[in-house]
Amino acid sequence: GGYESASKRFNPADVEVDVAGRSFLVTGANSGIGKATAKEIARRGGTVHLVCRNKERAEVAKEEIVTETGNQNIFLHIVDISNPKEIWKFAEKFQNEHKLNVLINNAGCMVNTRELTEDGLEKNFATNTLGTYIMTTALVPLLEKAADARVITVSSGGMLVQKLNVSDLQSENGPFDGTMVYAQNKRQQVVLTEQWAKAHRNIHFSVMHPGWADTPAVRSAMPDFYERMKNSLRTEAQGADTVLWLAVSPEATKLPSGLFFQDRQPVPTHLPLAYTHSPPEDEEKLMEVLEEFSQKFKSVSPR
Q: Mind telling me the catalytic residues?
A: 182
SS (H, E, C) 61-113: HHHHHHHHHCCCCEEEEECCCCCHHHHHHHHHHHHHHCCCCEEEECCCCCCCC
Residues with Cβ within 8 Å of 124's Cβ and at least 6 positions away in sequence, in order, are: 109, 110, 111, 171, 178, 181, 182, 185
Determine the Cα–Cα distance for residues 168 and 181; give it in Å rounded to an integer. 10
Helix/strand/coil for 24: strand
Positive/negative CA dihedral, 166, 171, 173, 178? positive
